[in-house]
């Protein structure tokens, strides 16, 4: 099944997240079958990233958005972590600094976008400026409501400069989020992630759903599509994201650049050195 098409938000369509099952797992019964495919996709992702790095014609920007516990860190670790860090960076969008607040909202994003041959993963992104900013009324509506068009223009500019953009919304249910909060309470390795704000933010669940629906509906374009990934099952989330990234990179038909040296001369030097 072509996940590139299945999970893509069609441009000019209205997203209703309640109509999308966050527990969807396709024909896979458990993580065992999926894990085998994820391993193959990780290997292929490594090969494709090397091609991207060697060719240095394109760059790739991957945006991950989700509610708390949605799986952004897990996706980076289990899927995108297969890539060579020499050509891959992760950028976390935390609360803006004083310097960032002194500029337009896209300034910090533009500084972090990938160079040719590079993959950059945004853990959260500039979309926070039409999500949390909107939900908590951090700026007036007439300010954040103009940002959808600015985001679309920003992404179009990146595309025109050979950056490919893949945006993933990791879709979990409210019940699944509560289970994951409970797991954090019981797991010492995850307790450091807990904050009092986690449970307070759940009061705004419906507001966040509305904000995400608007962002997904208004900012999924042919050149920079959104993908809604069912993420209640972490293993299926990993499979879907890995397959979409691989399918997209394969469609670029990348090839290794031709050598810049005389290979036969180098080969001759090599054999001469062996005889010496």
**pLDDT (tens digit, 9 = 90+) per residue, 233-251?**
999 999 999 999 999 999 9
- Is the pLDDT confidence value at 100 over 70? yes
Write down the pLDDT at residue 107. Answer: 97
Share of the chain above pLDDT 90, in %: 80
Superfamily of 3-275 according to CATH:
P-loop containing nucleotide triphosphate hydrolases (3.40.50.300)
Give the β-pairing of 88-92 and 59-65: unpaired
- Relative orientation angle of helices 147-160 and 205-218, to the nearest 10 degrees: 50
Predicted structure pTM score: 0.94
Ranking 102-111, 197-206, 248-257 by mean pLDDT, the lowest is: 197-206
Q: What is the pLDDT of residues 135-175, one digit of tens each?
A: 999 999 999 999 999 999 999 999 999 999 999 999 999 99
CA distance linking residue 270 with residue 133, whole number of Å: 61
Average pLDDT, integer, range 119-126: 97
Please choose, from the candidates 65, 90, 66, the residue with its C-alpha nearest in 3D space to the C-alpha of residue 76.
90
- Is the pLDDT confidence value at 34 over 80? yes
The count of other CB atoms within 10 Å of the CB of residue 241 is: 28
Write down the pLDDT at residue 166. Answer: 98
What is the dihedral angle through the alpha carbons of 213, 161, 121, 138, rounded to the nearest 10 degrees? Answer: -50
Write down the pLDDT at residue 80. Answer: 86
pLDDT range class, residue 195, cuts 50, 70, 90 = confident
Number of helices (H), then strands (E), in the chain: 13, 5
Write down the pLDDT at residue 1. Answer: 66
- Is the pLDDT confidence value at 207 over 80? yes
Average pLDDT, integer, range 191-207: 84
At CA 74, angle to CA 71 and CA 76, rounded to 5? 110
């Amino acid at each position: 099944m072509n996940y590139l098409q299945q999970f893509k938000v069609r441009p000019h369509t209205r997203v209703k997240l309640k109509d999308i099952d966050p527990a969807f797992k396709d024909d896979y019964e458990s993580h065992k079958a999926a894990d085998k495919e994820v391993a193959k996709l990780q290997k292929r992702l490594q090969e494709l990233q090397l091609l991207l790095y060697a060719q240095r014609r394109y760059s790739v920007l991957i945006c991950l958005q989700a509610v708390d516990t949605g799986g952004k860190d897990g996706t980076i670790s289990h899927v995108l972590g297969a890539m060579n860090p020499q050509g891959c960076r992760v950028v976390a969008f935390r609360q803006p600094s004083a310097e960032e607040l002194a500029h337009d909202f896209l300034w910090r994003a533009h500084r972090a976008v990938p160079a040719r041959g590079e993959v950059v993963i945004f853990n959260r992104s500039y979309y926070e400026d039409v999500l949390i900013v909107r939900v908590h009324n951090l700026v007036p509506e007439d300010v954040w409501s103009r940002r959808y068009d600015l985001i679309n223009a920003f992404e179009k500019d990146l595309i025109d400069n050979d950056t490919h953009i893949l945006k993933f919304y990791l879709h979990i249910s409210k019940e699944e989020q509560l289970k994951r909060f409970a797991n954090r309470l019981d797991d010492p390795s995850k307790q450091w992630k807990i904050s009092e704000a986690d449970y307070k933010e759940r009061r705004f669940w419906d507001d966040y759903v509305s904000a995400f629906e608007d962002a997904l509906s208004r900012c999924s374009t042919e050149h920079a599509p959104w993908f809604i990934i069912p993420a209640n099952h972490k293993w299926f989330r990993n499979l879907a994201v890995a397959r979409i990234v691989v399918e997209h990179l394969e469609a670029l038909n990348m090839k290794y650049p031709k050598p810049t040296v005389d290979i036969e001369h180098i080969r001759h030097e090599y054999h001469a050195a062996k005889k010496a």
